[in-house]
């Protein structure tokens, strides 16, 4: 959009069921809009509780960078003609983060909000809010709705390709340094283009050597879970690394570095950057009078040599050289502007000037430099990369998953069908498909040429919409033989969008009858048959594309329903240690590893570190957080797309392990630096593949919004108003995962399907004897408290401890005499337990636990069954069918048992401080409840509780209550499940 002409458009549609204010059962309503210091108002609709305005307004946006922090306030007032005054009927407030372009805007009906606690408000207001940059639109007080149909063009300025190179200087924050012999650079054989070269350097600054001498070795603290202890080698370890912002001790930065940049969660790495742009006036080197130049560089002691050579079949000819003293190379720290390249005169080997000039720039920097992600790295110089496209497989990239929509197709009826055989009534059904998704309605055999279905078919589609919705009406002429009567092709771009449950108008479509076999070259002829359907894009849902236990995003598809952010999540991927070799190169085991992190729509991939079992990534990424009940996933993979014949697993990237981090378990502002064991379950048992060092920080931007989220439903409103059946939801999730994997696989470099599936836990729903046992023991652990209370009661009755029994008798007599003390005592007791447990609260995020997962006790036959294909390939057809059916049923039982265990574990999480904010809320509630119940007669509390439980349906809402929403957001031990 054009920034200097950006406007906010608001189309006021109408309101309904307003509160009467004139004493005669009616109101004269008008709407007042306020945004960015501007105010507009609509006309007054006299004596109408369901007014319709259909008026549009446009506000000037003075500073687009402040748009996310601006608020649109819409007030509905009643006009009193006698006193020329106004009275409040309700308001709607919309945050700037929910504003969308005109092409995505739909009419939404917002419930009117109260101005105060004692206000009596009812009704809804229909608005359409969007952003436009149409120069023909001018800010005015009222514009007709017809003038509101303007298009929004997204202008994009092409960004020129910039190629950089750099050399990695040794990291001085460690107690040792690495020296590397000269390696051959990669060459670019095109005159005038940017050559890319990287090498390991031996230069080291004196200041950093002093820092290294002062910095102590990282401290490792081994931490064990009290509830499920596992071997030390599989446990989480807390470290104290020296990062870019300073040394991290106990989650806080000490000895802070005043020159630290925004990359303060990773170790600062020194690089020598060489940006080669172009050359001119080069001498002719061949007999034909031409030259095929390329550039290479090398580092010797404290001198950088940039050589220009001529490519030859036998031996490359020397053209010229440019030398740099590293002590004179400037240092650049962002946000400093990039260093401008300069022309340098070429010299010969004797340092005498020769013909030709080379344009380049040389500077010292860190991984915070903008050129870092696009440059060639020195550790890839020994890999056979034949093209820049292949070298892209090694670079760090950021991916954005596509925006997913649910496509709801309501097939109503068909009229005047013409069967293929004239002497019979057709047995008709409809088949709809989008891409590879195909769904059918039931078959209908009527005594007429009309058919009625009225069935809903739901698909998943991704923006931009490449596929069309194709609906065919088919006749089942014989078992296994269907003939097409006609079809309808509807582009998804022409389908109406909605963000709530409003009714979309249905439409009649003429069926096109194909006469050719090839669907791409069909000849069509119009005839009288028609199909009645209702189709829309449902934006009020969150399209589930990952495992529900580890969801990283819970926002609806429609952006205008998004709430403001509650915080920022920062992740520093430091390094990995002790990795198992995944391939063989030059007769030795090695790995070419990279990390992938996924949260919300943003996927990130670090650069691939070649030929290293202890890679140092030191890359930092940031995400916006909208909900604390979400999970960040970090995976480590071996890149099998390089190395030619030595790659394994059928050229599939091999999984090494992954880490999950639930946002709600992180304290605000604390830096978590831990070494996470990479655990992978294999057919021969669980195996530790190495350790991954991470630095994580969750910063809260709005404490009030974050606390408010604990009272909100976990999923958008449409999931409760019009929920999907479980079977349909699982099918849609599978389709969504496939679409995300396909779209990310089309990026450059592609994020491969096996990577997306592993990160999304695509097989989490399949049957596993190990998971079933783990869920059963989780359930037993939850009820162990009740069993302990029963045993304790039995011991009291049996007088095993006389002193305890006498005290219990006295307490029981007191509660019988004073029943009003029962509830205060219970809540006060839970409050005291919560305060007591605060000392033992978890100090680190939960991680995968082999004890809880039953990974160390599974039998070989059980693991063989878990790693069996689905459907099974170990038996005959009859046994296969029965076996798969058993696995399907057992998988559902497994899910139910796991869900029950999850609910019990959430009860335990109320006082365990696993989610510090939730426990703080509950402990405060217990204290307040204890006080209120103490000063309030028990009879009053009982009466209010009974009346509330038996309240009229008019006072009930379809959305879950605040206690239920709070409870569903509590963490469970699913985060520790393999």
What would the mean pLDDT of 514-529 be, rounded to a whole number?
A: 53
Give the separation between CA 762 and CA 426, rounded to whole angstroms.
Answer: 41
Give the separation between CA 398 and CA 304, rounded to whole angstroms.
Answer: 32
Cα-only R_g, the chain: 34
Matching residue, tokens 């497989």: 393
Specify which residues 594 forms β-bridges with: 637
What would the mean pLDDT of 777-796 be, rounded to a whole number?
A: 85
- The answer to whether residue 427 sits within a structural domain is yes
Give the separation between CA 8 and CA 64, rounded to whole angstroms.
Answer: 10
- Domain check: are 479 and 381 in the same one? no
Q: Residue 258 pLDDT more than 80?
A: no
User: What's the pLDDT score for residue 52?
Assistant: 94
- Domain check: are 383 and 429 in the same one? no
- Domain check: are 582 and 714 in the same one? yes
Matching residue, tokens 């695509």: 762
What would the mean pLDDT of 579-603 be, rounded to a whole number?
A: 92
- The answer to whether residue 263 sits within a structural domain is no
Contact 253, 245 (CB under 8 A): yes
- The answer to whether residue 745 sits within a structural domain is no
Contact 544, 536 (CB under 8 A): no
CATH of the domain at 359: 2.60.40
947 CB burial (10 A radius; 0-12, 13-18, 19+)? exposed
Give the separation between CA 19 and CA 26, rounded to whole angstroms.
Answer: 8
Give the separation between CA 162 and CA 373, rounded to whole angstroms.
Answer: 11
User: What's the pLDDT score for residue 940?
Assistant: 82
Among 737, 760, 783, residue at a domain's last position: 760
Give the separation between CA 230 and CA 844, rounded to whole angstroms.
Answer: 16
133 falls in which pLDDT band (50, 70, 90)?
confident
What would the mean pLDDT of 273-285 be, rounded to a whole number?
A: 88
**DSSP string covering 70-121:** -EEEEEEEEEETTTTEEEEEEEEEEEGGG--BGGG---EEEEPBPSSTT---
**b/e map of 717-742 (b: 16 or more CB within 10 Å)?**
bbbeeeebeeeeeebbbebbbbbbbe
- The answer to whether residue 36 sits within a structural domain is yes
Cis peptide before 335 (omega within 30 of 0): yes
What would the mean pLDDT of 522-538 be, rounded to a whole number?
A: 76
- Domain check: are 599 and 692 in the same one? yes
- The answer to whether residue 190 sits within a structural domain is no
Q: Looking at residue 165, what DSSP letter applies? A: B
Q: Provide the residue range defining the domain that includes 590.
A: 564-721+750-760
- Domain check: are 345 and 415 in the same one? no
215 falls in which pLDDT band (50, 70, 90)?
very low
Instruction: Look at 226 and 771; give whichever has higher pLDDT.
Output: 771
Matching residue, tokens 């236990």: 549
- Domain check: are 533 and 613 in the same one? no
Q: Residue 405 pLDDT more than 90?
A: yes
Among 739, 760, 781, residue at a domain's last position: 760
User: What's the pLDDT score for residue 533?
Assistant: 94
The pTM of the full predicted model, rounded to 2 decimals, is 0.77
- The answer to whether residue 225 sits within a structural domain is no
Q: Residue 644 pLDDT more than 90?
A: no
Give the separation between CA 971 and CA 808, rounded to whole angstroms.
Answer: 34
**880-895 tens-digit pLDDT:** 766 776 777 788 788 8
Tokens read off for 611: 């030929």
Matching residue, tokens 């409050």: 831
Between CA 634 and CA 638, with CA 637 as vertex, the angle to 5 degrees is 160
User: What's the pLDDT score for residue 199?
Assistant: 38
- The answer to whether residue 204 sits within a structural domain is no
532 falls in which pLDDT band (50, 70, 90)?
very high
- Domain check: are 809 and 934 in the same one? yes
4 falls in which pLDDT band (50, 70, 90)?
low
Q: For residue 938, what is the enclosing H or E element?
A: helix 938-949
Give the separation between CA 707 and CA 566, rounded to whole angstroms.
Answer: 9
Contact 327, 363 (CB under 8 A): no
Tokens read off for 170: 């040794």
- Domain check: are 428 and 389 in the same one? no
Measuring CA to CA, how many Å separate 271 from each of 171, 333, 595? Answer: 9, 12, 21
Tell me what the pLDDT averaged over the chain comes to: 82
- Domain check: are 371 and 414 in the same one? no
CATH of the domain at 468: 2.60.40.150
User: What's the pLDDT score for residue 257?
Assistant: 66
659 CB burial (10 A radius; 0-12, 13-18, 19+)? buried
- The answer to whether residue 80 sits within a structural domain is yes
Which residues does 108 contact at the CB level (< 8 Å), separation at least 6?
126, 127, 128, 499, 500, 560, 561
**174-198 tens-digit pLDDT:** 333 333 333 333 334 333 333 333 3
User: What's the pLDDT score for residue 335?
Assistant: 77
**701-716 tens-digit pLDDT:** 989 999 999 999 999 9
- Domain check: are 576 and 599 in the same one? yes
| Nearest residue to 636 via CA among 674, 683, 579 | 579
- Domain check: are 410 and 382 in the same one? no
- Domain check: are 714 and 755 in the same one? yes
What would the mean pLDDT of 624-644 be, rounded to a whole number?
A: 89
Give the separation between CA 73 and CA 32, rounded to whole angstroms.
Answer: 8
Q: Looking at residue 841, what DSSP letter applies? A: -
Instruction: Look at 207 and 331; give whichever has higher pLDDT.
Output: 331
User: What's the pLDDT score for residue 56?
Assistant: 94
**DSSP string covering 433-468:** EETTEEEE---EE-SSS-EEEEEEEEEEEESS--SE
User: What's the pLDDT score for residue 213?
Assistant: 37
Q: Residue 657 pLDDT more than 80?
A: yes
Contact 631, 661 (CB under 8 A): yes
User: What's the pLDDT score for residue 804?
Assistant: 85
Q: Residue 210 pLDDT more than 50?
A: no
Among 504, 538, 572, residue at a domain's last position: 538
**896-908 tens-digit pLDDT:** 888 888 989 999 9
**365-379 tens-digit pLDDT:** 888 888 887 777 776
3-state secondary structure 661-727: EEHHHCCECCEEEEEEEEEEEECCEEEEEEEEEEEEEEEECCHHHHHHHCCCCCCCCHHHHCCCCHH
Under DSSP, is residue 484 helix (H, G, I), strand (E, B) or coil?
A: strand
Instruction: Look at 230 and 146; give whichever has higher pLDDT.
Output: 230
Tokens read off for 600: 């919300």
Instruction: Look at 446 and 674; give whichever has higher pLDDT.
Output: 674
Which residues does 632 contact at the CB level (< 8 Å), separation at least 6?
552, 569, 571, 597, 598, 599, 623, 660, 661, 662, 663, 696
Instruction: Look at 393 and 732; give whichever has higher pLDDT.
Output: 732
Contact 694, 674 (CB under 8 A): yes
Q: How many structural domains are present in the chain?
A: 5
| Nearest residue to 165 via CA among 368, 376, 367, 364 | 376
Least confident range from 126-135, 153-162, 365-374, 924-933: namely 153-162
Q: Residue 149 pLDDT more than 60?
A: no
**42-60 tens-digit pLDDT:** 999 998 999 999 999 999 9
Please state, for a pLDDT cut of 70, what percent of the chain lies above it.
85
């Amino acid at each position: 959009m054009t920034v200097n002409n950006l406007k906010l458009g608001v189309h006021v549609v109408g309101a309904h069921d307003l509160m009467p204010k004139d004493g005669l059962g009616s109101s004269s309503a008008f709407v007042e809009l306020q945004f960015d210091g501007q105010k507009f108002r609509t006309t007054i609709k006299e004596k109408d509780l369901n007014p319709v305005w259909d008026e549009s307004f446009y506000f000037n946006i003075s500073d687009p960078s402040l748009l996310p922090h601006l608020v649109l306030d819409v007030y509905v007032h009643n006009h009193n003609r006698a006193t020329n005054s106004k009275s409040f009927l309700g308001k709607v407030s919309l945050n700037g983060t929910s504003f969308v372009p005109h092409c995505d805007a739909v009419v939404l009906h917002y419930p009117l909000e109260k101005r105060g606690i004692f206000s009596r408000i009812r009704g809804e207001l229909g608005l359409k809010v969007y952003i436009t940059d149409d120069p023909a639109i001018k800010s005015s007080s009222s514009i007709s709705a017809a003038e509101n149909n303007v298009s929004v063009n997204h202008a994009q300025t092409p960004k020129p390709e910039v190629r950089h190179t750099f050399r990695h200087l040794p990291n001085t924050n460690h107690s040792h340094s690495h020296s590397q012999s000269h390696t051959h650079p990669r060459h670019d054989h095109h005159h005038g283009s940017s050559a890319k070269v990287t090498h390991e350097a031996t230069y080291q600054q004196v200041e950093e050597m002093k820092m290294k001498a002062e910095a102590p070795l990282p401290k490792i603290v081994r931490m064990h879970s009290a509830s499920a202890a596992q071997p030390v080698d599989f446990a989480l370890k807390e470290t104290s690394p020296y990062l870019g912002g300073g040394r991290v001790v106990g989650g806080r930065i000490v000895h802070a570095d005043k020159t630290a940049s925004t990359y303060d969660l990773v170790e600062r790495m020194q690089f020598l950057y060489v940006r080669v742009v172009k050359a001119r006036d080069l001498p002719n080197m061949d007999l034909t009078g031409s030259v095929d130049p390329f550039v290479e560089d090398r580092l010797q002691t404290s001198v950088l040599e940039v050589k220009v050579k001529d490519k030859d079949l036998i031996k490359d000819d020397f053209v010229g050289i440019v030398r740099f003293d590293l002590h004179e190379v400037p240092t650049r720290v962002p946000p400093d502007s990039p260093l401008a390249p300069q022309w340098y005169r070429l010299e010969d080997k004797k340092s005498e000037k020769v013909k030709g000039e080379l344009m380049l720039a040389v500077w010292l920097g860190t991984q915070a430099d903008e050129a870092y992600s696009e440059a060639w790295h020195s550790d890839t110089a020994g890999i056979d990369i034949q093209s820049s496209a292949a070298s892209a497989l090694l670079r760090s990239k950021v991916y954005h998953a596509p925006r997913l929509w649910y496509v709801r197709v309501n097939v109503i009826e068909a009229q005047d069908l013409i069967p293929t055989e004239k002497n019979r009534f057709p047995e008709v059904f409809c088949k709809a498909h989008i891409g590879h998704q195909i769904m059918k309605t039931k078959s209908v055999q009527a005594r007429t040429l009309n058919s009625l279905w009225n069935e809903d078919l739901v698909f998943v589609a991704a923006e931009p919409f490449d596929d069309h919705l194709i609906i065919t009406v088919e006749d089942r002429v014989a078992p296994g033989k269907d003939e097409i009567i006609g079809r309808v092709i509807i582009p998804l771009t022409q389908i109406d969008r909605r963000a709530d449950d409003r009714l979309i108008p249905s439409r009649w479509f003429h069926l096109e009858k194909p006469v050719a076999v090839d669907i791409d070259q069909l000849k069509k002829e119009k005839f009288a048959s028609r199909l009645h359907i209702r189709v829309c894009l449902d934006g009020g849902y969150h399209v589930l594309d990952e495992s529900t236990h580890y969801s990283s995003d819970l926002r609806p598809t429609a952006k205008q329903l998004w709430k403001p952010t509650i915080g920022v999540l920062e992740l520093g991927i430091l390094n990995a240690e002790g990795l198992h070799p995944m391939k063989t190169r030059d007769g030795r085991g090695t790995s070419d590893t990279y990390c992938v992190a996924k949260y919300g729509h943003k996927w990130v991939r670090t650069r691939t570190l070649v030929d290293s079992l202890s890679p140092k990534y030191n890359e930092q990424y940031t995400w916006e957080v909208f909900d604390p009940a979400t999970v960040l996933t970090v995976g480590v993979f071996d890149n099998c797309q390089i190395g030619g014949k030595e790659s394994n697993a059928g050229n599939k990237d091999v999984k090494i392990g992954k880490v999950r981090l639930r946002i709600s378990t992180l304290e605000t502002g604390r830096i978590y630096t831990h070494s996470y064991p990479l655990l992978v379950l294999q057919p021969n048992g669980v195996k530790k593949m190495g350790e991954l060092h991470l630095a994580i920080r969750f910063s809260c931007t709005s404490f009030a919004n974050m606390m408010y989220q604990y009272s909100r439903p976990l999923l958008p409103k449409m999931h409760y108003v019009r929920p999907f059946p479980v079977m349909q939801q699982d099918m849609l999730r599978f389709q969504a995962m496939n679409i995300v994997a396909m779209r990310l696989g089309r990026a450059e470099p592609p994020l491969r399907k096996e990577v997306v599936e592993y990160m999304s836990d695509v097989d989490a729903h399949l049957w596993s004897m190990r998971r079933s046992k783990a869920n059963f023991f989780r359930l037993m652990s939850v009820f162990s408290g009740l069993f302990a209370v029963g045993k304790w009661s039995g011991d009291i009755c049996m007088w095993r401890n006389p002193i305890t029994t006498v005290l219990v008798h006295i307490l029981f007599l007191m509660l019988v005499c004073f029943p009003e003390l029962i509830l205060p005592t219970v809540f006060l007791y839970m409050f005291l337990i919560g305060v007591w447990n605060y000392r033992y609260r978890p100090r680190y995020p939960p991680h995968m636990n082999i004890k809880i997962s039953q990974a160390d006790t599974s039998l070989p036959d059980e693991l063989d069954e878990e790693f069996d294909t689905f459907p099974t390939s170990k038996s005959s057809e009859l046994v296969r069918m029965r076996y798969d059916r058993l696995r399907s049923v057992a998988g559902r039982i497994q899910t139910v048992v796991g869900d029950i265990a999850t609910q019990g574990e959430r009860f335990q999480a109320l006082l365990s401080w696993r989610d510090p904010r939730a426990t703080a809320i509950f402990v405060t509630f217990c204290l307040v409840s204890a006080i209120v119940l103490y000063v309030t007669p028990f009879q009053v509390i009982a009466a209010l509780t009974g009346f509330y439980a038996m309240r009229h349906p008019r006072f009930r809402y379809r959305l879950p209550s605040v206690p239920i929403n709070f409870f569903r957001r509590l963490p469970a031990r699913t985060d520790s499940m393999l």
